Amino acid sequence: MPDFVYLSQNIGGAFDRLLCRTLEKRPHKLPEGRFVTLCFDDFPKSAVNVAAPMIEARDWRATWYVAGGYCGQTHPRMGAMFDRHDLERLARAGHDFGCHTFDHVDCRSHDPDAVADQCRRNLTFLNAAGIHDLASFAYPFGEVNLAAKTNPALSDYLRRGVKTGLNQGVADLALLKAVGLQANNGGIARALRSLRTLKNADGWLIIFTHDVREQPSPWGAAPSDYARLLQAVEESGADVVTMAEMAARLNVTAPSPAMAA
Ligand SMILES: [Zn+2]
């Protein structure tokens, strides 16, 4: 669809979002059953220190979307970000990691080669921390256009946006829906509604957030809310799987050796 790719690069975000929801899909029938995946984006230290133990206490694991450029940094709104020690601690506990570009770049405003370069750089960073197998990618800021959606460097990854919803039936593996816990999404309310839907229907609910602490950023959650959410996940009876575990269930390929170089 070269004409649509051109249009997508040259027309604003609303049109991009419409195009991306309807074109260049990677349709895949989801397995029977009810699934929840817990994700953290970017990611702040508070998520490691506060949320990871809550998840591990239920014998679950999460998927952590790493942008290597945040390592050791302090985010003005989300506080202290992860460091190498956090990566090692999560890896030792059996968590899963996904790519989020190295510099957390907007994939709409960077050409495909630049995005590919960002992913290679991020993978090199993660490899140095002993993390090698990435099954998924999350578009930073949820920003995507058709050029990004058709980028060969991303084609082997399960890819997640921030479009709210439950994945059911045939899902688009190049732009999976996810429910964020951020303030402008009603905090945990929308995720709780989706979990109620999941009690009576097959589907895959991907939940993401950022910092987990008292007085969280607008993109994070308070510890008490996160605890309520995990209780609701347990009560839903859904299987909690990481993105890598879901990739295995979907029988989709791992990133190519070229990407891992
Ligand atoms: Zn992000």
Given this model, what pLDDT does residue 51 score? 98
Residue 258 scores a pLDDT above 60: no
Total domains in the chain come to: 1
Could you tell me the distance, in angstroms and rounded to a whole number, from the CA of residue 140 to the centre of ligand 1? 4
Could you tell me the distance, in angstroms and rounded to a whole number, from the CA of residue 194 to the centre of ligand 1? 22
Q: Which residues contact 232 (CB under 8 A, 6 or more apart)?
A: 191, 192, 195
Tokens of 213: 């602490």
Q: Region 171-176: what's the mean pLDDT?
A: 94
Can you give the pTM of this predicted structure? Answer: 0.91
Residue 257 scores a pLDDT above 70: no
Q: Region 102-111: what's the mean pLDDT?
A: 93
135 or 3: which carries more pLDDT confidence? Answer: 135
Domain range for 250 is 2-260
Among 193, 178, 207, which residue's Cα sits nearest to residue 62?
A: 207
Could you tell me the distance, in angstroms and rounded to a whole number, from the CA of residue 68 to the centre of ligand 1? 11
pLDDT band at 166 (very low <50, low <70, confident <90, very high): very high
Query: Residues for the chain: how many in total?
Result: 261
User: Apex CA 170: angle with CA 136 and CA 1, to 5°?
Assistant: 75
Could you tell me the distance, in angstroms and rounded to a whole number, from the CA of residue 142 to the centre of ligand 1? 8
Given this model, what pLDDT does residue 65 score? 98
Residues 162 and 125: beta-carbon distance below 8 Å: no
Given this model, what pLDDT does residue 148 score? 85
Could you tell me the distance, in angstroms and rounded to a whole number, from the CA of residue 141 to the centre of ligand 1? 6
CATH code assigned at 239: 3.20.20.370
Three-state DSSP class for 38?
A: strand
Could you tell me the distance, in angstroms and rounded to a whole number, from the CA of residue 200 to the centre of ligand 1? 31
Three-state DSSP class for 219?
A: coil
Could you tell me the distance, in angstroms and rounded to a whole number, from the CA of residue 27 to the centre of ligand 1? 24
